[in-house]
Chain A
Amino acid sequence: MSVAVKAIENTRAALEAIVQRAEERYEKRRQEIFRHTDRLFSRLMIGQWAFAVLLAWVVSPYAWQGMQKTIHLHVWVAVLLGGAITSVPFYLARTRPGEVATRHAIAVGQMLWSALLIHLTGGRIETHFHVFGSLAFLAFYRDWPVIVTGAAVVATDHFLRGILWPESVYGIANPEWWRFLEHAGWVVFCVSFLIMSCRKSDKDMRVMAERGAELEALSENAWRNSSVLDRAAADAAGR
């Protein structure tokens, strides 16, 4: 093999290695963010569960059937349904952190938590703010499809409960038929900006990774342009 051919092959290999390292840096950073956010949500899920049980216990701890005092259904709903909503995202966050399915399951679970809290507070408008907080938390992933999943869950929940059990979501028995569209409109407003922010953050991460590759390429160029004696001296110093 001639020296020229070998030099070309070395250059090509170095180029591929630099590009590969940039991709690895980008993926590594994304995975760090995904795993960190998964852990955050696993703790939040437990916190929400405890909060919901406390809320049900404080707001409506007992029901009366004649002279008999019984624990209100809402307490059981908070314990059992809350546990069910928490279990899958919590399990996935602990056993399969960083995976696509995990963060989408967390998005579903988080929005179901919004739905349950809204129900437990009798459709209080203030509890609807949990939806917007949750969507903002989901943006921590910097992965916009996760936000779309969350928005789809909350829109479906409002639509179905608005038809089947309007008191549970709006606190009144006969809301206008289009009430869910009003809520969905505000969700779309919020989500559209969060998606833009996620895409920008993701692009910035890639730019950072590529900037590293460009600097590596400059360093490689300087190395190749250095004299043979310089390289021999650097090699000797490295040993």
Chain B
Amino acid sequence: MSELRDLYQEVVLDHAKRPRNFGSIAAASHRALGHNPLCGDKLTVTLSIADHKIADARFEGAGCAISMASASLMTEAIRGKSEAEVRAMFEQFHAGLTATNEVAAVSALAELDKLAVFGGVREFPVRVKCATLPWHTLVAALDHVPEPVKTE
């Protein structure tokens, strides 16, 4: 039960139920579609980048609580950040969810503020892709990848 509570923390459940920045930016400068064929999770990330900073980020789609909450919290966390900063955040986020060493995982997530609520995902390896799908989609948007991206 405690591992489950770590996975489904209140913040996660709240964002899953009432996702922030849900929708799409009509005049987006960047857009990508993410799809997890295994579970059917699908989401579109749209960005508006001005002066090399993310001015607005939105997502829409459907999926499990982990992927919806991750997308919601991601759109909040990346606002105002530079492209390079966002890519670095994803690296840290990914490391925090997949590191075999717990100390490394905790320290990777420590600098990501609210995103640290996903630390519990590490105990559920099959769910890591749920949390990282929005981020893969975000990077695809930044890279202008035209076809839908999948998780690793």
Decide whether A and B assemble into one complex: no
Which A residues are closer than 8 A to B by beta carbons?
A: none
